[in-house]
Chains A and B, each alone.
Chain A
């Protein structure tokens, strides 16, 4: 079983839709939870991070962590064509990062 599981998609939504991206994990030692966005031919860039259960909001993005269920989510409100990218979840034990395989998102104008 992989440390981090992420639905690869692809996901295609119309502009303005709410997008939900999810990851599950098995390692209780994970302390930090992150979401990265990766555009084609670019390296990943950090979108959001959190270290506790609950919600964290940043503009159109909301990260949600449920440690009891070992489940994290990223919600994108009012999705834009510029949000089209691959989204990677990542988790950190304090010594090493573990990444999901990424979900490819396309927002159609």
Chain B
């Protein structure tokens, strides 16, 4: 069974630009969660999508948005990039809800660098 895939793996952008990251969950998984990982803050929850609907949202500004398609693939978008957006963006998929009794499988992440 193929794992969670994320594209691109690496991205370099400049301040003010926007970026779109893509995540393909494991086949059959309907929940996709996005996280931002930085050395100082660790893993921070961005949002979770289930059946094309945003079910939960973390404490990030509106510049961060996402969507999920009918095939469960998900994209996240960051507009008006800031230097502080440089991070590893991780996508995780699970069968249903992203709770502890329903394991989240993480992708390798997209490393975003904002110059």
- Are A96 and B45 neighbours in the complex by a CB distance under 8 Å? yes
Identify which of A33, A41, A45, A94 contacts B106 (C-beta below 8 A).
A45
Q: Which B residues lie within 8 Å of A49 (CB)?
A: 100-101, 103
**Given A43-B90, A51-B100: A97 touches B108 (CB 8 Å cut-off):** no
Q: Which B residues lie within 8 Å of A99 (CB)?
A: 35, 42-44
- Are A96 and B56 neighbours in the complex by a CB distance under 8 Å? yes
User: 1/0 per position for A74-107, CB-CB distance to B under 8 A?
Assistant: 0000000000000010101011111111100000
Question: Which residue of the partner chain A has the closest CB to B43?
Answer: A99
Q: Which B residues lie within 8 Å of A100 (CB)?
A: 42
Report the number of A-B residue pairs with Cβ-Cβ less than 8 Å.
63
- Are A94 and B43 neighbours in the complex by a CB distance under 8 Å? no
- Are A31 and B42 neighbours in the complex by a CB distance under 8 Å? no
Within 8 A of A (CB), among B64-111: 90, 92, 97-101, 103-109
Q: Which A residues lie within 8 Å of B90 (CB)?
A: 43-44
- Are B100 and A43 neighbours in the complex by a CB distance under 8 Å? no
**Given A88-B43, A92-B100, A97-B98: A44 touches B106 (CB 8 Å cut-off):** yes
Tally A residues with Cβ within 8 Å of B.
Answer: 26
Q: Which A residues lie within 8 Å of B97 (CB)?
A: 94
B61 beta carbon closer than 8 Å to chain A: no
- Are B58 and A96 neighbours in the complex by a CB distance under 8 Å? yes
Within 8 A of B (CB), among A38-65: 41-46, 49, 51
Q: Which A residues lie within 8 Å of B98 (CB)?
A: 92, 96-97
- Are A32 and B106 neighbours in the complex by a CB distance under 8 Å? no
Residues of A within 8 A of B (CB): 6, 31-34, 36, 41-46, 49, 51, 88, 90, 92, 94-102
Can you offer 26 A-B residue contacts whose CB atoms are under 8 A? A32-B99, A32-B100, A33-B100, A36-B106, A43-B90, A43-B107, A43-B108, A46-B104, A49-B100, A49-B101, A49-B103, A51-B100, A88-B43, A92-B99, A94-B97, A95-B56, A96-B45, A97-B33, A97-B43, A97-B98, A97-B104, A99-B42, A100-B42, A101-B41, A101-B42, A102-B42
